[in-house]
Structure 1
Amino acid sequence: MYTASGKSDQKDELLTQHAQLVKKLAYQLKAKLPPSVEIDDLIQAGMMGLLDAVNRYEDSHGAQFETYAAQRIRGAMIDELRSADWLPRSVRKNMRDVETAINQLEQSLGRPPTEGEVAKQLNLPLDEYYDMLGDCSGHQLLHYEDFSDSSENGDHFLDRFLQDAKGDPMQGMLSAAFKDALIEAIDDLPEREKILMGLYYEQELNLKEIGAVMNVSESRVCQLHSQAIARLRANMKEQSWTGAA
């Protein structure tokens, strides 16, 4: 294993050896993002992250270069997404509306609402609700706006966890309270969505592979994933409200 503490040819060798790692990580990330995100932009940002890793890495770090480089590459790609503001404001608003509808229905019904019930709460035909979920591909459990000092509505679902962590969002995410709340929220998902989340995040299958396992189309998997994320955010936000009381 070469290190970046040697000559320039050693650095060039590291760049050449790990260029494929950049592409691999870029395609893994792209699978979780909307079609509007260009793979070339992720690869370009990832190569900058790899170059930064090559320039910074030393044996004294006590880690294999590939492990260290992967962290830098992912970080550079995420920074690129952040600067590009890749999730449109309209999509964020739609998903906030879905989260609110789910939360209201769970409070009144005492159970997770069906898709038809959520659509009715939103005053949408079921087909339009499905289209909304499909358009929200790339909706994530956490967004950068969740780490801001305040959201558009004056609150967000990290409130309690940030308070527990003295305002440090990273510590909030690592806290036992956050992890326990997330586990509880996942356990409360409808069975099909719970299975989907396990296939996606634990087994790291892509949408097409999940569709084959669940015997549904790739677009249907995308809809179910968006809805599961909305349920998790609604559930955890409710926990934040009640937990802060």
Structure 2
Amino acid sequence: MYKADGKTDQKETLVHQYADLVKKMAYQIKAKLPASVEADDLIQAGMMGLLDAAGKYQDNQGAQFKTYATQRIHGAIMDELRNADWLPRNVRKQMRDVEKAIASLQQSLGRAPSESEVAKKLKLDIADYFQMLTDCSGHQLIYFEDVHKGEEEDHFLDRFIQNNKSDVINGLLSKDFKEALKQSIDALPEREKMLMGLYYEQELNLKEIGAVMSVTESRVSQMHSQAVARIRATLKEKLWTGPA
């Protein structure tokens, strides 16, 4: 049933017109996540975001609907990922162990440790260490649990958002945090730095990065997990020392 003002008709038209945008965004996000994440779940969440955008959009808002809808779709998909808690707790614990090993070695060696050095610190052979990195595919740079937690928990991002405690996103866009993140990326070994540039700046998927770097897709996944662990370890160190 259509309303007299044509609002329902417009909503349905917009949903049909931009349904493919939802699928495109869902698969782009899925490409950077573990295999356990179902694309259909992301698409369903994205469609809810599109429906919400179509229902609330007004032509006089001054923004094109595609721009407005893209923001709502992305937000709905990310909410789904957070609510689903898609990275298991045991995986996060493993990566915290990797981060601690890297941080300890960086302090004692005065440089970024090699993979074999990290493996030795964890009392693993190199094959088992690589398997751990593979299992931890999807490790994130930022978790909500990194912010505003109890004294016994890891809340290293509080330093960077101390003046934005009611607005975490703006806090993470602060000059201090961006500078600390830039320094952390610059401190990566060259190949990992190259990988992060291809992944986040040029938005290549793991297979495409593997072709550029002449390594397998699984090797790219391992290197990405390790690079994220290095960055987080460096950011945690800056909690105490501050940006250089």
Q: By the TM > 0.5 criterion, same fold? A: yes
Query: Residue 216 of structure 1 aligns with which residue?
Result: 215
2: distance between equivalents of 1:230 and 1:28?
Answer: 23
DSSP-derived class of the 2:112 partner = coil
Query: Residue 230 of structure 1 aligns with which residue?
Result: 229
CA contact (8 A) 1:157 1:233 kept: no
CA contact (8 A) 1:173 1:179 kept: yes
CA contact (8 A) 1:165 1:175 kept: no
Q: 1:202 to 1:6 in 2, by over 3 A?
A: farther
1: distance between equivalents of 2:63 and 2:230?
Answer: 38
CA contact (8 A) 1:22 1:46 kept: yes
Query: Residue 52 of structure 1 aligns with which residue?
Result: 52
Query: What is the TM-score with the length of structure 1 in the denominator?
Result: 0.93
Query: Residue 10 of structure 1 aligns with which residue?
Result: 10
Range with bigger deviation, 68-77 or 55-64 = 55-64
User: For residues 192-230 of structure 1, what are the alpha-carbon distances to aligned partners after superposition, in whole Å with 9 as ceiling and x for unaligned?
Assistant: 000000000000000000000000000000000000000
Query: Residue 73 of structure 1 aligns with which residue?
Result: 73
1: distance between equivalents of 2:169 and 2:229?
Answer: 21
2: distance between equivalents of 1:69 and 1:24?
Answer: 13
Alignment of 1:86-235 (within 5 A): 86-147=86-147, 149-150=148-149, 153-166=152-165, 168-235=167-234
CA contact (8 A) 1:199 1:205 kept: yes
2: distance between equivalents of 1:28 and 1:220?
Answer: 20
CA contact (8 A) 2:210 2:217 kept: yes
CA contact (8 A) 1:49 1:69 kept: yes
2: distance between equivalents of 1:112 and 1:232?
Answer: 11
* Counterpart AA for 1:13: T
* Counterpart AA for 2:112: P
Across the aligned residues of Structure 1 and Structure 2, the Cα RMSD in angstroms comes to: 1.6
1: distance between equivalents of 2:212 and 2:221?
Answer: 14
The unaligned stretches of length 5 or more in structure 2 are none
CA contact (8 A) 2:146 2:154 kept: no
User: For residues 91-128 of structure 1, what are the alpha-carbon distances to aligned partners after superposition, in whole Å with 9 as ceiling and x for unaligned?
Assistant: 00000000000000000000000000000010111101
2: distance between equivalents of 1:77 and 1:153?
Answer: 31
CA contact (8 A) 1:145 1:151 kept: no
Query: What is the TM-score with the length of structure 2 in the denominator?
Result: 0.94
Query: Residue 83 of structure 1 aligns with which residue?
Result: 83
2: distance between equivalents of 1:240 and 1:227?
Answer: 20
CA contact (8 A) 1:189 1:228 kept: yes
